[in-house]
A and B are shown apart, each in its own frame.
Chain A
Amino acid sequence: MSTKEQKQRIELLQGTLDLLILRTLLWGAAHGHAITKAIEFNSDDVLQVEQGSLYPALHRLIKRGWISVEDGISENNRRAKFYSLTRKGRRQLSVETGKWDRLAGAIARILRPKPEPE
């Protein structure tokens, strides 16, 4: 995965990682590696999941009851843990998305102010 130059990659903040995991699981259950891949792929490799923090994040989300976990079989036929969104998690996703939109919009307005009307 070295299609992008190192410096163009952005490491994720903790809270953001939670949000992205929830969003990724919206498409269906997935195991840890698949979640990483999905986030990187969907962001055109801009976002790099620090994988050391992926599992603590998953455990945190389980503890809060936003995702659930069950055993399954991975693509190379091994036992793997599959994580999926709970109903509570779905609700949380929309809350978090709304928050993110407001934050991103606000930052954008500050960084790129609209020109004053003449």
Chain B
Amino acid sequence: MNKRGKRLLQELDREIREHIELATQDNIDRGMTPEEARHEAFRKFGNVTRAKEDAREVWSLVWLEQLLPDVQLGLRQLRKNPGFAAVAILTLALGIGANTAIFSVINSVFLRPLPYHDPDNLVMVWENNSEYPNPHNTVSPPNFIDWQRRNTVFSSMSFIFDERDNLTGNGDPKEVVIQNVSANFFSLLGVNLLLGPGFTTENGQSGHDNVVVLSYGLWKQRYTGDPAIVGKFIVLNGHPQTVVGVAPQSFQWFIKDGSLTGARPQLWSPFVFPQAFQQHKQIGRFMTVVARLKPGVAPSQAQAEMRTIAARLEQEDPDFDGHWGVNIVSLRDQICGDLRHALLVLFGAVAFVLLIACANVSSLLLARAGSREREMAIRTAMGASRWRIARQLLMETLLLALIGGGIGVALAVWGTNALLAASPRNLLDLRTVSLDLRVLLFAVAATLVAGLLFGFLPSYLSAHSRISETLKERGRGSSSASRRALARKAFVVAQLSLALVLLTGSGLLIRSFVRLIGVDPGFDTGHLLTFKITLPQSRYGTDQSCITFFQQLLSRISTVPGVRSASMESFPPLTGLGAATSVHLLGLPSLTPSDLPVANVRVVGPDYFAAMGIPLRVGRLFSAQELTEEKHVTIINQAFATKYLQGTNPLGQKAVIYMKSDAESESQPSEIIGVVGDVHQLGLDTAPEPTVYWPHSELVMSGMTILVRTSSDPLALLATIRFQVQQLDPELPMAAVATMDQLLAESLSRSRFTMLLLGIFAVVAVVLAAIGIYGLIAYSITQRTHELGIRIALGAQRRDVFRLVLVQGTRLTFLGLAIGMLAALALSRLLRTLLYGVSATDPITFAGVAGLLGVVALLACFIPARRATRVDPMVALRYE
């Protein structure tokens, strides 16, 4: 305030007195008695204090000057009502904390840029078969070469396929995941290596590809962050490779859909296509392809051109490319696609929780406004403007919001960590989730919006109450009180409906999860240890050496006390896609190669089906001789028989399984000798796929997963089993050690995660809604003590009083449930993709949650209703 204003205000009092003096004089001149004249002058002037306040506001940056007193007053008010303050702050902290935690995950998944140069121009290029659709089907090398030659939409393309290799030297042998990539991989992604020059174009030519780039983690752990690592040799599968670079810590490349190992890479090596890839098309589809769009080219344009190219390839080579098209997916969609839906649902859910929390605090404030009505009326009479009072109340609510928000952010830090601990491990690199500026801004915005939401109505109603009425009626039964009561009822109805929506969502997820874990995986997952052994080419070059090694290993493990049986499989269930190929059934009309049925191929060891607990349906299992020699026999699963051999006897049928590398033995048909039960390969929510089983002798593989069935905790035997492996070959690492129960839990982890979180939010919502309706009924009873006392005095039975109170609560409950039910019907469709075996409008769930919430709400009314029946009429009548 400036000096001039200050002086004017100091003298304003005298000036107004003078004004009234003059006016009085005028009135006397006009013939009034002095007393009348004075009274009339005052009446005409109006509220003196108000005039002074208004004049003061002209000069000051009012809100700034009044801020401090408002804050002090607000804090005093909160201290005076610690119970109210604690409930309100805690409620808000829960709401804001949950929102911030979920937002911080959304921020890192959707909003933060991917750690590549210009990531918006990166796309994944997949194949997709119109007969057996899989929009993320891996790519064959010859098609990649053709695409690269013919397209005009990409500035560059790169392929990736991963495998497990043995890393020796510098400590224990270790199985590592390596990504074989084209030499332009790092330059396409625009990644600057931490150390070293990386791959040159020369590395993309045969004879120059014995180089590797290490991941930051491998460099730190295995080579202790050796700054002079570039130029040194490491030994992979017995072959020396030169280190030409170390990737930065933030660099990640893991596309789950195309990954053959299902694991993150630890190093990268350039891969040069052998001459055969260029001419001979009969090469499997196993690569992931990433491409960078030319500037100005939209993904849809790229999709259109690639479709044309695929159509031409289909014409040129119908045997190999018939029905095969191309599918372009932006990198962001590829990475977030899995999670987007679940996270958006959770975000919607926490927003609901915050709304319910706001309604609760707002309702509390309204109740308190009743008892403060006289205070406000007196302040208005003393000259406070409506805006001034509303501002004072808003300041109190803002304080509540800020304290709640502060605690909420602390909760969010803790909650995000809990979230990470509970989140599916393989799903996403959530380690990058953290509270950054954007998250804090979000928290502040959420706090302010919450403050305005819950503070607006109480402030508005208080500021617009009529003073004279309030002062006369002593705050009871005034029109503003009834408006507040109406608002609180509306809040309770809204809370119940929101809570019902959340409860329905979580009910659907719980039911779908129960369905899911009720699914029979097709084999016995209990007490089953799995680990992977990969024999290096350099020391186990021949088929016979591989067969012998695995035979010896299995017989050694079988002798370990506590082991019931031991076997092996190439790609066990719940560990990823595994190999698949086309199968030619000789008994059926012949088809072009691209129209042949496709089946998973599994290579198994002795006693496999017994060890796994997979039942034999028809025929017989592999004999001892078939397990050691190439006898051209195969066992199929139920799904294969149903899908491809419907109506015929599968036993004795001959099938050519295109999996072997040399053309001569590839066309040798195998005879189907048995049918076994189905196994869920990818997860319980994915239907079993047609599968053919070969004995290990039929297709010798150097990498096998050992399966050990134990009689007690399988991990307890790990050390003994490891000793047996090292007895056979001290250079061999045991990789991917896990029990089958762990793998099963992990395959369910996303469903469990979403269900758990939505469940927690729903419980919080129900508790808040219950507090809301309890508070309303309890308050209305204190308001009606007088009336209830009269009723009891006049002879009303306790039962009548009880019913009277309960009817009020019941009416609100039913209204809330009805609205909530409609909203849930409209919104549950959004959950459809997250559900398994349950319809989004499942009547049992809807009825169940409505019943549950109804009971909780009525219980919340029950307690105050009981209290109402104990009203002592004598006390109540004296109660004023």
Q: Does B associate with A?
A: yes
- Interface residues of chain A, those whose CB is within 8 Å of chain B, are 1, 31-33, 36-37, 50-56, 59-60, 62-63, 69, 74-76, 78-81
Do residues B54 and A56 form an inter-chain contact, with CB atoms below 8 A? yes
Do residues A52 and B54 form an inter-chain contact, with CB atoms below 8 A? yes
Taking CB atoms, residues of chain A closer than 8 Å to B46 are 50-52
B186: min CB distance to chain A, Å: 66
A77: min CB distance to chain B, Å: 11
Which A residue's beta carbon lies closest to that of B383? A52
Taking CB atoms, residues of chain A closer than 8 Å to B54 are 52-53, 55-56
A6: min CB distance to chain B, Å: 12
Do residues A59 and B19 form an inter-chain contact, with CB atoms below 8 A? no
In the complex, given contacts A55-B51, A56-B51, A79-B18, what are 4 additional A-B residue pairs having Cβ atoms less than 8 angstroms apart?
A: A52-B45, A62-B4, A76-B21, A76-B25
Do residues A53 and B51 form an inter-chain contact, with CB atoms below 8 A? yes
Do residues A33 and B4 form an inter-chain contact, with CB atoms below 8 A? no
Identify which of B9, B16, B22, B58 contacts A60 (C-beta below 8 A): B58
Taking CB atoms, residues of chain A closer than 8 Å to B51 are 51-56
A85: min CB distance to chain B, Å: 17
Identify which of A50, A52, A63, A79 contacts B59 (C-beta below 8 A): A63
Do residues A63 and B58 form an inter-chain contact, with CB atoms below 8 A? yes
Assembly CA distance A51 to B54 (angstroms)? 12
Assembly CA distance A60 to B57 (angstroms)? 9
Assembly CA distance A69 to B15 (angstroms)? 12
Do residues B22 and A74 form an inter-chain contact, with CB atoms below 8 A? yes
Known contacts A51-B45, A52-B45, A52-B54; A59/B18 CB under 8 A: no
**3 A-B pairs closest in CB distance:** A52-B46, A56-B54, A52-B51
Which A residue's beta carbon lies closest to that of B22? A33
Assembly CA distance A16 to B615 (angstroms)? 94
Taking CB atoms, residues of chain A closer than 8 Å to B21 are 76, 78
- B11 sits at the interface (CB 8 A): yes
Do residues B18 and A56 form an inter-chain contact, with CB atoms below 8 A? no
Assembly CA distance A1 to B26 (angstroms)? 9
Assembly CA distance A56 to B45 (angstroms)? 13
Q: Is the interface of B mostly helix, strand, loop or mixed?
A: helix
- Interface residues of chain B, those whose CB is within 8 Å of chain A, are 4-5, 8-9, 11-12, 14-16, 18-19, 21-23, 25-26, 30, 44-48, 50-52, 54-55, 57-59
Identify which of B15, B23, B48 contacts A52 (C-beta below 8 A): B48
Taking CB atoms, residues of chain A closer than 8 Å to B23 are 33
Assembly CA distance A51 to B57 (angstroms)? 16
Assembly CA distance A81 to B15 (angstroms)? 7
* Residue of B16, B18, B57 with highest tally of chain A CB at under 10 A: B18
Taking CB atoms, residues of chain A closer than 8 Å to B14 are 79
Assembly CA distance A76 to B43 (angstroms)? 22
Taking CB atoms, residues of chain A closer than 8 Å to B57 are 56
Taking CB atoms, residues of chain A closer than 8 Å to B25 are 76
Which B residue's beta carbon lies closest to that of A1? B30
A61: min CB distance to chain B, Å: 9
Assembly CA distance A33 to B20 (angstroms)? 8
Do residues B47 and A80 form an inter-chain contact, with CB atoms below 8 A? no
Assembly CA distance A52 to B52 (angstroms)? 8
Do residues B18 and A55 form an inter-chain contact, with CB atoms below 8 A? no
Assembly CA distance A24 to B151 (angstroms)? 83
Do residues A59 and B45 form an inter-chain contact, with CB atoms below 8 A? no
Assembly CA distance A65 to B54 (angstroms)? 18
Do residues B22 and A76 form an inter-chain contact, with CB atoms below 8 A? yes
Taking CB atoms, residues of chain A closer than 8 Å to B59 are 59, 63
Do residues B15 and A59 form an inter-chain contact, with CB atoms below 8 A? no
